[in-house]
Amino acid sequence: MMISYDHIVIGVGSMGSAACYHLARRGRSVLGLEQFTIPHELGSHAGETRIIRKAYFEHPDYIPLLIRAYENWQELTERSGKQLYHKTGLFYAAPKGHELINSIRRSAELYNIPLESGVPTKFSLPTGYESLFEPDAGYVEPENTIRALVHHAIDLGAEIHEREQVLGWNGGGQPGYVTVRTNIAEYRCKKLIVTAGAWSAKMIPGIDKHLRVTRQVLAWLKPAEPEQFTKEKFPCWLIATENDKGAYYGFPIIPSHLGALKFAYHYPGSDTEADSVNRKVVIEDTENLLDFARKFLPPASGEIESTKVCLYSNSPDENFVIDNLAGMEDQVCVAWGFSGHGFKFVPVVGEILADLAMYGKTSLPIEFLNAGRFSA
């Protein structure tokens, strides 16, 4: 006899761990299937820190979801007794008139998000740059968040299998059920949730032409005086320059990684595939980060201490897709295309997916994230 669950979640990474937690919390029987360990370094959630901010320059429609996410982060902190969100503030800068600063201001005005002015002393901004400071922003801890969500999900009755890869699924078998086939067994559920990150095109029919997986390089730089960059003294930051399309960003030194500051460039990197990405970092990969540090943050521009390759899974418009699967609305819901900015939303995406899995709809405002926008 095949084991049956209310829900199966394919991929227990960022979004999948949150879906398992919310479903288990609501008393549903749930099986989470993860092909690697939980967490792991091969997808989109490695690297110790992720920025969380509310004055969303990408699209103000994300802000109601962020307001909910902030509440969820607080609730998760209380439940786990672990500080997963660290309020450090976020320093933004860009050449005067740049869309980054204009959009931040617009979003902040629409939703009354406090912004301040002033430039932290360690930065050296070229003339003609303007800046803002978002005091309620900071960073969250991706690996520890996933650990906490899975821990609580199991406590609440979820079954989570690590190192079990889903090979395929189909909804055409026994009426009312989706069958999921892994390298170990077959299971069935009433509604499937697919949160497979950079592997989503293998698990969701019809999205291969829309999902673009890119290689992203992170680097940790050693400042001469690390004690000047602790989270009590130095904020998260995000800076657009006149010559680059994306934005550079970074973090203070965190207690679990003393002596080095994390730097990265937020813009889709080279196209790749999740299973064959080149994880070896060469000098050319980090030249832009070092040049940026020398110019904008000279006291941090020491040598590189370590590097990592991570994956963005980009949708065509770099906005997320969270929806029921067209044609199988009652049986499958999907969340993909988090495009390098999804982690701050993890707990609210878990809540939305639990709603879609249980009721087929959610009261949270996600219409702008519908999958149909790419079907024309």
Ligand X SMILES: Cc1cc2nc3c(=O)[nH]c(=O)nc-3n(C[C@H](O)[C@H](O)[C@H](O)COP(=O)(O)OP(=O)(O)OC[C@H]3O[C@@H](n4cnc5c(N)ncnc54)[C@H](O)[C@@H]3O)c2cc1C
Contact residues: ligand X, CB under 6 A: 10-11, 13-16, 33-36, 43-45, 47, 50-51, 165-166, 195-197, 199, 203, 216, 218, 264, 310-313, 338, 340-344
- Residues with Cβ < 8 Å from 129, sequence gap 6 or more? 93, 94, 95, 96
> Which helix (DSSP H) or strand (DSSP E) does residue 192 occupy?
strand 186-194
Nearer to ligand X, 7 or 344 (CB): 344
> Which helix (DSSP H) or strand (DSSP E) does residue 19 occupy?
helix 14-25
Nearer to ligand X, 223 or 250 (CB): 250
The Cα–Cα gap between 91 and 234 comes to: 10
Pairing of strands 30-33, 3-10: parallel
| Minimal distance, residue 128 CB to ligand X, in Å | 26
Nearer to ligand X, 254 or 310 (CB): 310
| Minimal distance, residue 224 CB to ligand X, in Å | 26
8 Å CB contact between 331 and 178: yes
Residue nearest to ligand X (CB): 13
Nearer to ligand X, 27 or 307 (CB): 307
| Minimal distance, residue 110 CB to ligand X, in Å | 20
Q: Cα angle at 211 between 210 and 212, to 5 degrees?
A: 115
Nearer to ligand X, 229 or 237 (CB): 237
Other residues' Cβ atoms within 10 Å of the Cβ of residue 61: 16
Nearer to ligand X, 223 or 269 (CB): 269
The Cα–Cα gap between 261 and 304 comes to: 9
